[in-house]
Amino acid sequence: MSALKMDDFGGRLPTQVESATADQLRQIIASQSKDGEATNLTVANAEGKSETITLSPALTTSLMQLLRLVSGRQGFQMVPLSADLTTQQAADLLNVSRPYLIRLLERGEIKFIKVGRHRRVKAEDLFAYKAKRDDERENALTDLAALDSEFILEEE
């Protein structure tokens, strides 16, 4: 058996062959898909018979994002919304330090539970906080850009 785990990308980057294969599959799916519509793919099953698979728009988009990561030889992590995360995992996903995350938890900005002495964060709650944080940042940048344009107009 190879030194690489062949069942997933846990903790490793895609190989050059995996990257090329993902890029080829990405191009095939892209050529068959139209925005907002289901994508029909015809594939051969184990017996060599053709079967048509219909991908919903959401599944097509998700699969394309995954294939872009693999074809770009980038690492990735799939996290089910129902997963219970350690504080270190949650901090890593938010790209913040663990102490900063714990302050967010203690201030009640992100829900958590305690398992013994350890805090656990539901991925769903973490992603909801991240979406809210990103929206607030985007709104603040929009407001700042508007103020900047007003300031420039006043100077002229």
| pLDDT the model gives residue 155 | 64
Q: How confident is the model at residue 3 (pLDDT cuts 50, 70, 90)?
A: very low
Instruction: Tell me the per-residue pLDDT of 27-60, one tens digit each, with 9 for 90 and over.
Output: 999 999 888 899 999 999 889 899 999 999 999 9
Q: What pTM was computed for the model?
A: 0.65
Write down the H helix ranges in 33-122.
Answer: 57-71, 87-94, 98-106
Instruction: Tell me the per-residue pLDDT of 46-99, one tens digit each, with 9 for 90 and over.
Output: 898 999 999 999 999 999 999 999 999 987 878 899 999 999 999 999 999 999
| pLDDT the model gives residue 78 | 83
Say if residues 55 and 38 touch (Cβ distance below 8 Å).
yes
DSSP three-state, residue 112: coil
